[in-house]
Amino acid sequence: MSSSVSSLSPELVIPSGVAPLLTIEHLTMRFGGLTAIDDVSFAAGEGEITAIIGPNGAGKTTLFNCITGFYTPTVGRLTLRARGETFLLERMDGFRIAQKAHVARTFQNIRLFSEMSVLENLVVAQHNELMKASGYTVTGLFGFRGYRKKEQEAADLARYWLDRVGLTRLADINAGNLPYGAQRRLEIARAMCIKPTLLCLDEPAAGLNPKESGELNALLNYIKDEHRIGLLLIEHDMSVVMEISDHVIVLDYGSKISDGTPLYVRSDPNVIRAYLGEDETEALPPEVEADLRKDLDPQNREGA
């Protein structure tokens, strides 16, 4: 672990010791009298999958909305360090967070352009790059070389991601006619077309069958391994979380209640209590209780 990482506050330590890509410090988000996020701090590593889990209403989507500029946090600092630049996200609006910091996002409910073809969905995601190449003029209409080159690059990138998500054969059909699992993969491909530094996925496995869920895991691992970007994942499907995450943050009633490797949080009594309630944890058999205590012993804590 480098000295810069080891000097961080304990709240911000990443179990694997990799450099932080995103640092959230003392984030609080209030809606009138309701505190949806209450003084939450954590860091997400470069080239890692960080899962945000917690019961319904824990504040997961609100956290994403703060990171991606949909909400301006009431309090807190959100720092993204990527490609040699530092961005203070709490000071930026959603458009600049997407275009300058290259933070991409998918939503709980699929938001594709359903009347456009699968391929068009991926080209349209690159609209801003193309507009920049045209100098925000009619250059594109005259087919100038610089613009044509950008247009070709946009088409190549779209085809690359179509291939990666297994949709090349379906490139020309309307996105709204794709099967559900394929729509979810297309959304991720579209987000990847903005060449993100950080990809935020809100329940990507929702509604998927086990086969589609396996394909999703493979896709997310591919993105992590081949493109070395950070992924933030809100997910209720624990098989997905436990299989592909490097780091898990657990929220409950807006507060962080656990932070560590999947193995660590899985046996953290705070997490079990949040998911099952007090009564069930009291009824744990003594040998399970003993295992939990062993797992929680800092000496045995994985990644500690």
Ligand X SMILES: Nc1ncnc2c1ncn2[C@@H]1O[C@H](COP(=O)(O)OP(=O)(O)OP(=O)(O)O)[C@@H](O)[C@H]1O
Site for ligand X, rule CB under 6 A: 31, 34, 36, 54, 56-62
Q: How far is the CB of 148 from ligand X (least distance, A)?
A: 44
φ/ψ (deg, to 5) at 135: 65, 25
* Closer residue to ligand X in complex, CB, 34/141: 34
Strand order of the β-sheet with 103-106 is 103-106, 198-202, 230-234, 49-53, 247-252, 255-260
SS3 per residue for 83-139: CCEEEEHHHCCHHHHHHCCCEEEECCCCCCCCCCEHHHHHHHCCHHHHHHHCCCCCH
Q: How far is the CB of 62 from ligand X (least distance, A)?
A: 3
* Closer residue to ligand X in complex, CB, 72/177: 72
SS3 51: strand
Return the sign of the alpha-carbon dihedral for residues 79, 85, 91, 96.
negative
* Closer residue to ligand X in complex, CB, 202/295: 202
Q: How far is the CB of 251 from ligand X (least distance, A)?
A: 7
* Closer residue to ligand X in complex, CB, 61/261: 61
* Other beta carbons less than 10 A from residue 177's beta carbon: 13
Q: How far is the CB of 234 from ligand X (least distance, A)?
A: 7
* Closer residue to ligand X in complex, CB, 109/299: 109
Q: How far is the CB of 61 from ligand X (least distance, A)?
A: 3
Distance of CA 256 to the CA centre of its chain: 17
Q: How far is the CB of 31 from ligand X (least distance, A)?
A: 3
Can you tell me the distance from the alpha carbon of 51 to that of 40, in angstroms, rounded to the nearest whole number?
15
* Closer residue to ligand X in complex, CB, 61/117: 61
* Closer residue to ligand X in complex, CB, 62/126: 62
Strands 49-53 and 247-252: parallel
Q: How far is the CB of 14 from ligand X (least distance, A)?
A: 22
Of 112, 121, 40, 130, the closest CA to residue 76 belongs to 40
Of 78, 75, 94, the closest CA to residue 44 belongs to 78
